[in-house]
Amino acid sequence: MPESVSELRWQWIKLRNPKEEKIFLYYPSGAGTDAQVIRVCDRNGLDHAILIWYVCHECRFGDVAKISIIDEWQRQGLGRRLLLWALRGGPGYRWVTSGQSPEGQEFFQALARETGAALTNRGKTCAHIDIGHRSYPRPRLVHDI
């Protein structure tokens, strides 16, 4: 079951989206520089992809804290879609990422070329972002990722 989703609400989401194999749940920032999260679940409610990021509008800064996708869902454009969603929240901002695997580094370099965002590997974060603080408000089902 996805985090912060009741059994009844999950059943309702599946009923309203009978053909969706991948269900996108967006957990918006609770306040200020709290984490924002997109979980991509299968119909059983298992997380198979997640993106966690922070944005500080005061410093014009973004931090991709985590991106993870199961092997079976990789190489289908899902990571690109998720990251483009996050970058929309901080256009023209300076973006950094957490440490990445060699494949992740290639992915971020390709997205940096495509978007113009630096996506600096292990870059320094802004002082307003506390990556240890994550609050997850009630998620919203999204389709336009």
For the chain, what is the mean pLDDT? 86
> What is the mean predicted confidence (pLDDT) over 91-96?
89
Closest CA to 131 of 86, 82, 93, 98: 98
Beta carbons of 47 and 82 less than 8 angstroms apart: no
Residue 101: pLDDT band (50, 70, 90) is confident
* pLDDT above 90 coverage of the chain, percent: 46
Q: Which domains does the chain have, with CATH numbers?
A: 7-142 (3.40.630.30)
> What is the mean predicted confidence (pLDDT) over 140-145?
76
Worst-scoring range by mean pLDDT, 46-55, 66-75, 88-97, 119-128? 119-128
* pLDDT above 70 coverage of the chain, percent: 90
Q: Is 86 exposed, middle or buried (0-12, 13-18, 19+ CB in 10 A)?
A: buried
pLDDT value for 28: 86
> What is the mean predicted confidence (pLDDT) over 69-78?
93
pLDDT value for 133: 60
Checking if the pLDDT of 123 tops 80, the result is: no
pLDDT in tens, 16-28: 999 999 999 998 8
What are the Cα distances from residue 105, in Å, to 3, 47, 61, 102, 141?
Answer: 28, 23, 20, 5, 29
